Amino acid sequence: MSLTGKVAIVTGSGRGLGLAYAQELARHGARVVVNDVDQQVADDAVAAITAAGGEAVGVVAPVGPTETAKALVAAAVEHFGRLDILVTNAGVLRDTVLWKMSDDDFDTVINVHLRGTFTCVREAATYLREQGEGGRIICIGSPTGQRGNFGQTNYAAAKAGIVGMVRTWALELARANITANAVIPVAATAMTETVPFFKDFVDAAARGEQMPPFARRVLGFGTPDDVAGVVAFLASDAAAGINGQAVGVGGDRLAVWSHPQEVTTAFTDGGWSYEALTEDWESLFGGALQSVGQPMPAPPARAGTEPGEKVRS
């Protein structure tokens, strides 16, 4: 199932995860529109893809505005004659705790991640529906959007919103044979190098060293190349039956995230009064409350696999 003949747009693909996605798509035959806000970075990414035998063109523009979305789709059609795949990866961070987060901190992250995903998908979906040959929408989420993370109100809101939009688009675009899925990556990038827990692993990857099994298996933490294969797979015809899913990947781990759903329910005639809740809450729901945040286990003396995990070597 090669991607020969397909055309892909990858936002934020000048470096890091986005570049890995663009290179992997090109390696499997797709022609790629690279996007970054830095001309030199975009040029270098295009040069790397073409040097490896692929085809690519760069669009230098910030993701968020509708004008950028239109320019990306126009570049795909002008240079390669069509569009088949969109990967929305562009993002920024403005981390700080709630009481110190400014309006600009919040708006900047929401504009790039959430609005940028919306405008790019809207433009691509409009073209794909008119083209009439189906297509693939792949949006990049984050564990922060799934579980929350200290100091990332803006990022959590954006990434949770992206997955919510993906589920909606999966419904809206299905009749046009356009799938929409989210990828939840965990990898050594410029964004994760600021997380103290991951710093040693990110530094090891930067030195070209193999990450330990604890990182790759227990944490599901690896390199951008570990994530790129999943993106290429979801972009292919082999993934035609996968729609509306949030697929987690990192290191040696591959997972499907659950959709939010009720974990337990209770009923009382006439509805729930303050008095009834005060009396009955603990017995009914005390053991069902969900944890928040991303648990970070202490590295064991000898890291192994988790119980019940499916291992494929």
Enzyme catalytic residues? 155
| Strand duo 246-250 + 135-140: pairing | unpaired
**Tokens, residue 199:** 């710093």
Sheet with 253-256, strands from edge to edge, namely 56-60, 31-36, 7-10, 85-88, 135-140, 178-185, 246-250, 253-256
The Cα 90–Cα 20 span in angstroms is 13
Phi, psi dihedrals of residue 183, rounded to the nearest 5°: -115, 130
The Cα 114–Cα 109 span in angstroms is 8
- DSSP annotation of 291 reads P
What type of residue is 198? F
**Closest C-alpha among 266, 287, 288 to residue 277:** 266
The Cα 34–Cα 38 span in angstroms is 11
The Cα 81–Cα 288 span in angstroms is 53
What type of residue is 21? Y
Q: How far is CA 310 from CA 220, 253, 255, 306, 313, in A?
A: 13, 9, 10, 9, 10
The Cα 89–Cα 16 span in angstroms is 10
Phi, psi dihedrals of residue 140, rounded to the nearest 5°: -95, 120
276, 251 Cβ separation under 8 angstroms: no
- DSSP annotation of 39 reads H
119, 61 Cβ separation under 8 angstroms: no
